Every structure is written in C-alpha cells, then in structure tokens.
Amino acid sequence: MVNERDVLLNELAQGLRPMSEGIEWFDGLGPEDESVVLLSLRHHCVQARAVAGDAPESIRRAGLRPTHTPAVLISRGRIDEQLGKIAGLRPRDERRKAFRLLIAVLTVADARRRELYCSGGCAHWWHHLSAAE
C-alpha cells in the first residue's frame, strides 16, 4: 500500500524534490513521527539492498563529516544493523543527520538496484514517480 510518506521519501531519494523541502518536513514532525520515518527509511534502504560500500558516497551526498555519529555508525559493522542504529538515534540534531544520511543511502542503493534489476522495466511503483507527474 502506497502512502504519502513513502512517496515523499522516494521523491527525495530520486531528486524529484529538493532535500531542503525534506528537511523542513522532517523538522515539522514530532519525536514519535520522526522515529517512524527513520525506521521506514531503514526498511527502504534494506529493501534497496544497501551494502557497506555505499557508506562513503552516502556520507558525501548527505553532506556529513566522517566524524558525525550517523557517518561513524554506517562505516562500521553489518550495514543492516548499522542502519537500525542510525534510525534509533535520539538527539534531535543527530536525527536530522540520520534523515539526510538514510535518504542518501536510499539514493545510492536504489540507483544501483534500478540499473541492475529494473533497467528493462519493473513494477516498483517508486520507480515510476517521475512518469506520474
């Protein structure tokens, strides 16, 4: 089932909406909704088959320094576990960084998925967002 949140997250990851709009939207959420969004992004990243090698490009795209907590986390250990830790960060400023990083991970992983598995066409609704405009 498609919901507005998932459409927005995928539009951000595909560059169909500016990240500034995504951050403004995320900043308007309460703590509980932030958690839901971060966990949803984690799920999308896993579904897009994110790999540890996506970390450097994702950190760069998110505009994070390598010393920022989400950047440190994604650079260590199993990617699926690290994505969960990033989604679980609590301080507000870390959550905003986590949001930016998880969008970037989704961007990188989904672009690879499109190229490898969906280049000949697919039924993934999120790969047809620009066509629906």
pTM (two decimals): 0.89
In angstroms, the CA 19 to CA 9 distance is 10
Is residue 114 a contact partner of residue 123, using CB atoms and an 8 Å limit? no
In angstroms, the CA 120 to CA 133 distance is 21
User: What burial class does residue 120 get, using C-beta atoms within 10 Å of its C-beta: 0-12 exposed, 13-18 middle, 19+ buried?
Assistant: exposed
User: 21-51, pLDDT tens digit by residue?
Assistant: 999 999 999 999 999 999 999 999 999 999 9
Residue with tokens 């951050």: 23
In angstroms, the CA 6 to CA 103 distance is 12
User: 57-73, pLDDT tens digit by residue?
Assistant: 999 999 999 999 999 99
Cα dist. 98→32, 35, 44, 107 in Å?
A: 15, 11, 14, 14
User: 61-106, pLDDT tens digit by residue?
Assistant: 999 999 999 999 999 989 999 999 999 999 989 999 999 999 999 9
